[in-house]
């Protein structure tokens, strides 16, 4: 790419709005606000998860503590904090204590660059509803979450026990693999927005949410974010059937609570990132975004003031619901299948997709090719490829069908391998073949000749 | 304080000719610099390899914060993502897998590596002193006022114009290294790997144990792994116990573990 092209790209690398001019008390207020938001979201998400999974399994779920059981997670949290704090004798003490802190702190830190809304007024100060923003804000989130992995890995190692170590190894392999796919899915967004700053990315989605033009990136991110947070069906680091509790097997009391907190905050963080990058951030969904739009207020009523916080939280909760839904529906993947999805599907597909996006951007911006001409050409090429592949498949199928006819239908052995088996397609029960009698007597007749064989022969070996 | 700081490479801008460091930056420096130096020393003296790796990660993290404070946010973030997040993580991964510790053999396998290490260290120190000296005493380049927000664009412009060739060569080097690793780790299979379906069919054909193995202790009166589970006829199931425990002689029968009182009461019931 030449400097010439670079100059032509719609670069808006600087954060939208003003940052770094808030008085100190406003910064503290925002930081405490984020902390409280994340803790409350965690408590709610745990309740929400238990209730939804319960409904999916025809149960009721926690409904005793507080209205609708809303305070159940609070009660559980207090109980957890009062439990005995066990440090195993074989543990590396310093690292064992450090690990849960390393998992929880970055989880909170990542939220510093998340845009909750546009400019609002707090006690008379016009300020952005976001703690801060950087020209490289999205990369900052990746950096901070990669530090959070240290918590998991060190917890596994310092426990001085086998299952946690295995869980930690799985987890580090998993997060490194899925972080690549995750990072690659961001590249298309950066190309479209011309910025890595979260507020600017939200700003660029005024007319069209990036989930629509960048659907493949969105789907790749949605898959990678489940892998990144160690949630079902990708919860291999804590697969209870294989590894007891995985990396946190030896943890109890508040240290375990910190891991618990970190997992749920990470869930909220990746959901927020998905919202910000692909679903228009705090922007109101389409029909609502038109309310109150006039030349004086191009943003509309529901995209200004404190309204956007509502859309923002609603979108996050939709993602969290999907997380819960996945957990209630899908069985856990096998480790090799999981790694295959990451390395052989997600990464190559996102590389190809980035290539395509970059090519389209370069062609439309640099050569100023009309987008319609471009799509006609690309569509034409795709159509030819499709027709050729269809013809190829038909030919292959015909060849396969011709080959299949040559295979002689083997005689039916009702006790093949020592167990009673039904006839395969193309085979028929000998009773039907020999006598033309009613099914009832045929079944009785067929059972007899082989009935003397021991069905479990060789079992005593 | 300014004269002390003037000798440091990144902070040379703080001398009289350039704008002075903000108070925040001074605080940041005097808090993080000792941490970084102590962590670097700790890395050398730590006994456990994992502790060394952790302290190295801390040094890298401190450096990243310095980069960000020096208005190079992209460099700082990339330092964390690439070095702290990926490279050190792989280091830890290997350390944990291999289980390196201080009890390793102290025999040097590479001849003359101490001398080579000393020479390389002295060379590096000379290079570093030269660089810092010329930055502190001579004319400085590239220390003009830079805007943090143009950081990414400037790096991209340099990377894709002046340094394209170097960039491509580096990537070729890395790909070669990755290919080399794959060749070393590659193992040729003599037969195609059996699929899960084939394994399952084979299990049924051979007619061995088809269901999962019985669990230890579940049908016995104790649920420890060292107590065999009881079959419906009351005999202990050999399949339910771990072979390693059996070889060690750790297996106990249910009756052996019964407390006298309970055993007596069950006898009475019979």
CATH number for the domain spanning B77: value is 1.20.120.1200
Answer whether B254's CB lies under 8 Å from B230's CB. yes
Answer whether B229's CB lies under 8 Å from B237's CB. yes
C-alpha B111/C-alpha B78 separation (Å) is 37
Answer yes or no: do B93 and A136 touch at CB < 8 A: no
pLDDT of residue B20: 57
Let me know whether B2 and B96 are in one domain: yes
Residue of B nearest to A171 (CA): B93
Instruction: Identify the residue whose tokens are 């456990």.
Output: B48
pLDDT of residue B148: 54
The answer to whether residue B52 sits within a structural domain is yes
Q: Does B86 touch chain A (CB under 8 A)?
A: yes
Model pTM score: 0.74
Signed CA dihedral, B178, B179, B181, B185: sign only: positive
- The yes-or-no verdict on residue A179 having pLDDT over 90 is no
* Sequence-distant contacts of B18-21: CB under 8 A, at least 24 apart: B18/B143, B19/B145
A-chain CB neighbours of B74 within 8 Å are 135-136, 139
Out of A32-36, A242-246, B219-223, the most confident range is A32-36
Q: Does A176 touch chain B (CB under 8 A)?
A: yes
B-chain CB neighbours of A1 within 8 Å are 160
Digits of tens for pLDDT over chain B (270 positions)? 344 444 444 444 444 444 556 777 888 888 899 999 999 999 888 888 888 888 998 999 999 998 888 778 888 898 888 888 888 888 887 777 776 555 556 667 777 888 999 999 999 999 999 988 887 777 666 655 555 557 777 888 888 888 999 999 999 999 999 999 989 988 888 888 888 888 888 888 887 777 888 887 765 667 777 888 888 787 888 888 888 888 888 887 766 766 655 544 444 444
B-chain CB neighbours of A458 within 8 Å are 206-208
The answer to whether residue B136 sits within a structural domain is no
Q: Does A27 touch chain B (CB under 8 A)?
A: no
Beta carbons within 8 Å of A180's beta carbon, 6+ residues apart: A342, A347
Task: Report the gap between the CA of A157 and the closest CA in chain B (Å).
Answer: 7
Answer whether A128's CB lies under 8 Å from A137's CB. no
Task: Report the gap between the CA of B51 and the closest CA in chain A (Å).
Answer: 8
Q: Does B32 touch chain A (CB under 8 A)?
A: no
Phi, psi of A179 (to 5 degrees): -65, -30
- The yes-or-no verdict on residue A23 having pLDDT over 90 is no
Instruction: Identify the residue whose tokens are 């570093």.
Output: B128
* Sequence-distant contacts of A356-365: CB under 8 A, at least 24 apart: A357/A187, A357/A188, A357/A191, A357/A192, A357/A214, A358/A191, A361/A9, A361/A191, A361/A192, A362/A1, A362/A5, A365/A5, A365/A8, A365/A9
pLDDT of residue B141: 63
Quote the Cα angle for B221-B226-B227, to 5°: 25
Q: Which residue has the higher pLDDT, A436 or A345?
A: A345
Q: What is the distance, to the nearest Å, from the Cα of residue B159 to the centroid of all Cα atoms in its chain?
A: 29
Q: A60-74, A317-331, B201-215: lowest mean pLDDT where?
A: B201-215
pLDDT of residue A2: 38
A-chain CB neighbours of B148 within 8 Å are 135
The answer to whether residue B192 sits within a structural domain is no
* Sequence-distant contacts of A201-207: CB under 8 A, at least 24 apart: A201/A138, A201/A276, A201/A277, A201/A281, A202/A16, A202/A115, A202/A276, A202/A280, A202/A281, A202/A282, A202/A283, A203/A12, A203/A16, A204/A12, A205/A280, A205/A281, A205/A283, A206/A283
Q: What is the mean pLDDT of residues A150-173?
A: 85
Q: What is the mean pLDDT of residues A118-145?
A: 84
pLDDT band at A212 (very low <50, low <70, confident <90, very high): confident
C-alpha A223/C-alpha A345 separation (Å) is 11
A-chain CB neighbours of B80 within 8 Å are 143-144, 146-147
pLDDT band at A286 (very low <50, low <70, confident <90, very high): confident
Q: Which residue has the higher pLDDT, B55 or A128?
A: B55
The answer to whether residue B239 sits within a structural domain is yes
Let me know whether B162 and B220 are in one domain: no
Answer yes or no: do B157 and A157 touch at CB < 8 A: no
C-alpha B223/C-alpha B214 separation (Å) is 12
Q: Which domain holds residue B247?
A: 214-260
- Of B186, B205, B232, which residue is a domain's last? B186
Q: Which residue has the higher pLDDT, A248 or A423?
A: A248
pLDDT of residue A32: 93
Answer whether A103's CB lies under 8 Å from A153's CB. no
Q: Does A191 touch chain B (CB under 8 A)?
A: no
* 3-class SS string, A302-336: HHCCCHHHHHHHHHHHHHHHHHHHHHHHCCCCCHH
Let me know whether B5 and B66 are in one domain: yes
pLDDT band at A105 (very low <50, low <70, confident <90, very high): very high
pLDDT of residue B106: 65
A-chain CB neighbours of B152 within 8 Å are 13, 135-136, 196
Out of A18-27, A117-126, A209-218, B104-113, the most confident range is A209-218
Beta carbons within 8 Å of B89's beta carbon, 6+ residues apart: A146, A149, A150, A153, A172, A176
C-alpha A368/C-alpha A5 separation (Å) is 11
Beta carbons within 8 Å of B118's beta carbon, 6+ residues apart: none
pLDDT band at A13 (very low <50, low <70, confident <90, very high): low
ipTM above 0.90, yes or no: no
A-chain CB neighbours of B150 within 8 Å are 13
C-alpha A192/C-alpha A195 separation (Å) is 8
C-alpha A403/C-alpha A219 separation (Å) is 39
Q: What is the mean pLDDT of residues A391-415?
A: 71
pLDDT of residue A289: 74
CB neighbour burial string for B162-175, b if at least 16 within 10 angstroms, e if fewer = eeeeeeeeeeeeee
Measuring CA to CA, which residue among B55, B53, B56, B78 is closest to residue B67? B78
- Tell me which of A136, A137, A247, A340 to substitute to probe the interface with B (most B C-beta atoms closer than 10 Å): A136
- Tell me which of A102, A133, A142, A146 to substitute to probe the interface with B (most B C-beta atoms closer than 10 Å): A146
Nearest to A149 among B89, B97, B161 (CB): B89
The answer to whether residue B143 sits within a structural domain is no
The answer to whether residue B209 sits within a structural domain is no
pLDDT of residue B223: 72
Q: How many domains does the structure of chain B reveal? A: 3
Signed CA dihedral, A153, A155, A158, A164: sign only: negative
ω into B78 cis (within 30 of 0): no
B-chain CB neighbours of A242 within 8 Å are none
Let me know whether B179 and B93 are in one domain: no
The answer to whether residue B64 sits within a structural domain is yes
Q: Which residue has the higher pLDDT, B135 or A460?
A: B135
Measuring CA to CA, which residue among A75, A52, A54 is closest to residue A65? A75
pLDDT of residue A282: 85
Answer yes or no: do A456 and B207 touch at CB < 8 A: yes
pLDDT of residue A271: 92
With a pLDDT cut of 90, the percent of chain A lying above it is 19
Q: Does B158 touch chain A (CB under 8 A)?
A: no
The answer to whether residue B246 sits within a structural domain is yes
- Of B100, B134, B162, which residue is a domain's last? B100
Beta carbons within 8 Å of A287's beta carbon, 6+ residues apart: none
Which tens digit of pLDDT belongs to each residue from A82-92?
998 888 888 88
Q: A30-44, A138-152, A196-210, A421-435: lowest mean pLDDT where?
A: A421-435
pLDDT band at A118 (very low <50, low <70, confident <90, very high): confident
Which tens digit of pLDDT belongs to each residue from A191-207?
888 888 888 888 888 88
- Tell me which of A139, A145, A351, A366 to substitute to probe the interface with B (most B C-beta atoms closer than 10 Å): A139
Answer yes or no: do B89 and A156 touch at CB < 8 A: no
């Amino acid at each position: 790419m030449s400097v010439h092209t670079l100059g032509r790209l719609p670069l808006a690398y600087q954060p939208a709005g003003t940052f770094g001019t808030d008085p100190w008390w406003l910064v503290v207020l925002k930081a405490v606000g984020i902390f409280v938001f994340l803790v409350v979201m965690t408590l709610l998400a745990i309740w929400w998860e238990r209730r939804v999974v319960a409904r999916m399994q025809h149960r009721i779920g926690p409904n005793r503590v507080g209205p609708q059981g809303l305070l159940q997670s609070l009660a559980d949290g207090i109980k957890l904090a009062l439990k005995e704090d066990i440090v195993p004798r074989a543990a590396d003490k310093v690292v064992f204590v450090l690990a849960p802190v390393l998992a929880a702190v970055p989880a909170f830190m990542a939220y510093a660059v998340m845009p909750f809304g546009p400019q609002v007024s707090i006690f008379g100060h016009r300020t952005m509803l976001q703690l801060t923003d950087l020209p490289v804000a999205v990369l900052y989130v990746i950096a901070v979450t990669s530090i959070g992995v240290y918590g998991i890995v060190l917890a596994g190692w310092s426990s001085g026990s086998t299952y946690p170590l295995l869980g930690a190894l799985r987890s580090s392999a998993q997060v490194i693999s899925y972080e690549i796919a995750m990072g690659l899915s961001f590249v298309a967004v950066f190309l479209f927005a011309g910025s890595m700053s979260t507020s600017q990315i939200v700003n660029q989605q005024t007319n069209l949410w990036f989930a629509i033009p960048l659907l493949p990136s969105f789907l790749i991110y949605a898959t990678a974010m489940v892998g990144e947070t160690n949630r079902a069906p990708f919860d291999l680091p804590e697969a209870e059937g294989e590894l007891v509790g995985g990396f946190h097997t030896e943890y109890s009391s508040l240290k375990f609570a910190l891991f618990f907190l970190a997992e749920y905050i990470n869930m909220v963080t990746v959901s927020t990132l998905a919202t910000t990058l692909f679903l228009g951030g705090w922007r109101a969904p389409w029909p609502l975004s038109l309310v109150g739009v006039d030349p004086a207020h191009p943003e509309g009523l529901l995209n200004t003031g404190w309204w956007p916080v509502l859309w923002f939280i609603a979108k996050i909760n939709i993602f969290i619901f999907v997380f819960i839904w996945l957990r209630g529906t899908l069985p856990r993947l096998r480790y090799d299948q999981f790694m295959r999805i990451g390395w052989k599907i997600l990464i190559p597909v996102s590389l190809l997709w980035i290539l395509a996006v970059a090519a389209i951007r370069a062609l439309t911006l640099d050569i100023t090719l009309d987008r319609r001409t471009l799509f006609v050409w690309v569509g034409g090429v795709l159509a030819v490829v499709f027709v050729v592949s269809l013809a190829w498949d038909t030919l292959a199928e015909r060849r396969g069908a011709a080959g299949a006819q040559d295979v002689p239908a083997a005689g039916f052995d009702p006790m093949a391998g020592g167990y009673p088996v039904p006839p395969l397609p193309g085979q028929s029960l000998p009773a039907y073949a020999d006598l033309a009698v009613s099914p009832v007597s045929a079944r009785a007749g067929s059972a007899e000749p082989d009935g003397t064989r021991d069905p479990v022969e060789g079992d005593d070996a | 304080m300014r004269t002390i700081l003037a000798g440091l490479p990144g902070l040379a801008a703080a001398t009289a000719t350039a704008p002075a460091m903000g108070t925040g930056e001074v605080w940041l420096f005097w808090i993080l610099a000792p941490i970084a130096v102590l962590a670097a020393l700790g890395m050398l003296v730590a006994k456990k390899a994992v502790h060394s790796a952790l302290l190295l990660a801390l040094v890298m993290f401190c450096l990243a914060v310095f980069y960000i404070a020096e208005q190079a946010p992209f460099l700082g973030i990339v330092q964390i993502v690439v070095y702290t997040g990926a490279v050190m993580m792989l280091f830890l991964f290997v350390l944990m897998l291999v289980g390196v510790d201080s009890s390793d053999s102290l025999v040097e396998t590479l001849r003359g590596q101490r001398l080579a290490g000393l020479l390389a260290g002295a060379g590096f120190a000379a290079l570093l002193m030269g660089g810092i000296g010329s930055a502190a005493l001579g004319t400085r380049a590239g220390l003009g006022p830079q805007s943090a927000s143009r950081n990414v664009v400037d790096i991209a412009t340099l990377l894709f114009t002046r340094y394209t060739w170097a960039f491509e060569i580096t990537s070729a080097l890395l790909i070669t290294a990755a290919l080399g690793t794959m060749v070393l780790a590659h193992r040729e299979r003599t037969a195609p790997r059996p699929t899960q379906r084939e394994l399952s069919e084979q299990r049924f054909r051979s007619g061995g144990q088809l269901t999962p193995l019985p669990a230890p202790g579940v049908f016995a009166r104790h649920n420890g792994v060292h107590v065999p589970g009881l079959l419906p006829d009351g005999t202990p199931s050999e399949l339910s116990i771990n072979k390693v425990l059996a070889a060690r002689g750790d297996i106990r029968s249910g009756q052996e573990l019964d407390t006298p009182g309970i055993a007596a009461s069950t006898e009475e019931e019979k």
